[in-house]
Amino acid sequence: MQIGLVGLGKMGGNMRERIRKGGHTVIGYDRNQEISDSKDLQDMVNQLTEGPKVVWVMLPIQFVDETVTQLAEMLSPGDIIIDGGNSKWTNDKRHAEQLRAKGIGFLDCGVSGGIWGLEYGYALMVGGEAADVATVQPIFDALKPESEYGFVHAGAHGAGHFAKMVHNGIEYALMQAYAEGWELLEKAEEVTDVPKIFESWKEGTVIRSWLLDLTVDALHKDPHLDKIDDIAEDSGEGRWTVNAAVDLGVPVPTIAASLFARFVSQQEDKPAMKMIAAMRNEFGGHAVVAAQPEKTMTPGEGGNPKGH
């Protein structure tokens, strides 16, 4: 199968490689011409010689509207556009209606797997019409893990990104629990080897997980996380999850608390956020802020010692 792929960053670039390993042809486009297979969007579309043409957009949310609109003028009835970025589910029905008017199909696809997806496969949550999903299924099969799990047609337009949003909200809460446990162990005088404790939990415990494995990897590199500042960014999907829960009247106190903890980390000292930052770096390659020498404040000087 042939597919166009727009956006060849940390996720998109690895997805291109995994799809090619699955035996398919990928024509990628990126503004960075050193990694691009085409000079622009139109060139990418022109290189897709088999129909229906399928284009997967893997871009930050602020670039999706413009890109979908441009592609809509380049594609033909029966072609399909997939939005695989971390887009808000509320945009998907609008994009589907916009493209339906031109006879073009649309799928929203939440993608999880981070920088490890190339090796282990990506979890894919898809929303849209069943016929369009069936057309793209060979690409989904190439991207997903080799097991029976890792792919779901979640429902109608918006369902894929909604599922991914909730996935990320759960991720926030799990990371917060590991991080708070780590901080508590670090404070206990009786405990002498926190990394070994986390490592011991990898087998036999009810809290074992891939996220725990990555936590252990982070502690092997920096046993007390001295090299990382206690600032944890939020990607935006945690906010969307909490907002959706408010709109639907669903209580999500654990997810909400984990989101607000990240806000706190951006304002005041919070050691557990070192672990959150470390885990985000391990699974997604997200940048961490290097630990800074603590600022000494002179009498009468205002401001936050962290400089935020």
pLDDT in tens, 125-152: 999 999 999 999 999 999 999 999 999 9
The domains found in the chain, sorted by start residue, are 2-156 (3.40.50.720), 165-266 (1.10.1040.10)
- At 287 the pLDDT is 64
- Our CA angle for 294, 300, 304, nearest 5°, is 40
Give residue 244's pLDDT: 97
pLDDT tens for 215-254 read 999 999 999 998 888 777 777 889 999 999 999 999 999 9
Asked whether residue 72 carries a pLDDT value surpassing 50, the answer given is yes
Lowest pLDDT segment from 13-27, 161-175, 240-254, 272-286: 272-286
- For 78, the enclosing helix (H) or strand (E) is none
User: What are the b/e assignments for 214-235, b being 16+ CB within 10 Å?
Assistant: bbbebbeeeeebeebbbbbbbe
Banded model confidence at residue 271, pLDDT cuts 50, 70, 90: confident
In this prediction, residue 286 carries a pLDDT of 65
What's the pLDDT band for 296 if we cut at 50, 70, 90? very low
51 vs 208 pLDDT, higher one: 208
Q: How many CB atoms lie within 10 A of CB 10?
A: 14
Answer for the pair 181, 175: CB distance below 8 angstroms, yes or no: no
Question: Measured between alpha carbons, how far is 77 from 99 in angstroms, rounded to an integer?
Answer: 9
d(CA 124, CA 145): 9
The Cα–Cα gap between 217 and 249 comes to 38
pLDDT at residue 77 in the model: 98
Contact between 70 and 102 under an 8 Å Cβ cutoff? The reply is: no
Pull the structure tokens for residue 85: 């970025």
Rounded to the nearest 5°, which phi and psi values hold at 130?
-60, -35
Q: Tell which residue, 115, 254, 83, has the closest CA to residue 171.
A: 254
**Cis? peptide before 52, omega within 30° of 0:** yes
Q: Is the pLDDT assigned to residue 263 strictly greater than 90?
A: no
Q: Whose CA is closest to 139, among 297, 291, 23?
A: 23
Express each pLDDT in 116-126 by its tens digit: 899 999 999 99
**DSSP type of residue 290:** B
Give the largest Cα separation in the chain, rounded.
71
The radius of gyration computed from the CA coordinates of the chain, to the nearest angstrom, equals 22
User: Position 208: which residue type?
Assistant: R
Nearest alpha carbon to residue 244 among 190, 301, 303, 164: 164
Task: Indicate the pLDDT class of residue 288, thresholds 50, 70 and 90.
Answer: low
Catalytic residue positions, numbered: 164, 171
Q: Summarize the confidence of residues 277-294 as an average pLDDT.
A: 71
pLDDT at 299: 33
Quickly list H helices, the chain. 10-21, 41-47, 64-74, 90-100, 117-120, 130-143, 159-187, 194-200, 210-221, 237-248, 253-265, 272-284
